[in-house]
Amino acid sequence: MQQRGRSVNRRSRSFSRSRLAVEGH
């Protein structure tokens, strides 16, 4: 569970940054 949460957190962070860049742009 911890490993999966960690992987999701990393992916979520990348996705959040991509979405923020697209929205900010």
Total domain count for the chain?
1
Range of the domain at 8: 1-25
What confidence tens digit (pLDDT) does each residue in 5-22 have?
A: 566 556 667 777 777 777
Q: Half-sphere exposure (CA, 13 Å, Cβ side) for 4?
A: 1
Q: Provide the pLDDT for residue 21.
A: 72
Q: Provide the pLDDT for residue 25.
A: 65
Q: State the pTM of this model.
A: 0.25
Q: Half-sphere exposure (CA, 13 Å, Cβ side) for 16?
A: 6
3-state helix, strand, coil in the chain (%, to 5): 90, 0, 10
